């Protein structure tokens, strides 16, 4: 696969991930049970591709409750920046490089010729 395409895709993914993060706000409850009753609502969410990849790296190993993901936002941003600069040195960059290639090949398959 063309390295230039991979670098451009990594730049686009970096920009999207940097722009969108999980933001939760409190809003008044639709059916208040008491004075000041509020509920949490997601005002902004991370991109779907980020959520899917981090879901694949959940550590469960015999536990009912999933542990936090091994994919961290700041490390992912660094890895995408590293790939955009043409390097793949860290573990995060290796994981994200595979993901960038997979997403790019999925996009190219959907383009009718």
Q: Identify which of 79, 75, 99, 100 has the alpha carbon closest to the alpha carbon of residue 88.
A: 79
Q: Identify which of 109, 99, 113, 110 has the alpha carbon closest to the alpha carbon of residue 6.
A: 99
pLDDT, block means (10 residues), the chain with 113 residues: 89 94 93 93 92 75 60 90 92 88 85 65
Location of structure tokens 């722009």: 19
Tell me the two tokens of residue 113.
């010729």
pLDDT of residue 54: 80
- Tell me the whole-structure pTM to 2 decimals: 0.78
């Amino acid at each position: 696969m063309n390295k230039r395409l991979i670098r451009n895709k990594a730049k686009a993914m970096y920009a999207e991930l940097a722009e969108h993060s999980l933001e939760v706000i409190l809003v008044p409850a639709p059916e208040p049970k008491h004075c000041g009753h509020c509920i949490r609502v997601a005002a902004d969410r991370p991109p779907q591709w980020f959520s899917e990849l981090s879901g694949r790296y959940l550590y469960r190993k015999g536990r009912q409750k999933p542990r936090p993901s091994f994919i961290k936002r700041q490390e992912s941003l660094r890895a995408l920046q590293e790939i955009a600069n043409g390097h793949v040195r860290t573990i995060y960059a290796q994981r994200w490089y595979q993901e960038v290639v997979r997403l790019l090949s999925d996009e190219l398959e959907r383009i009718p010729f």
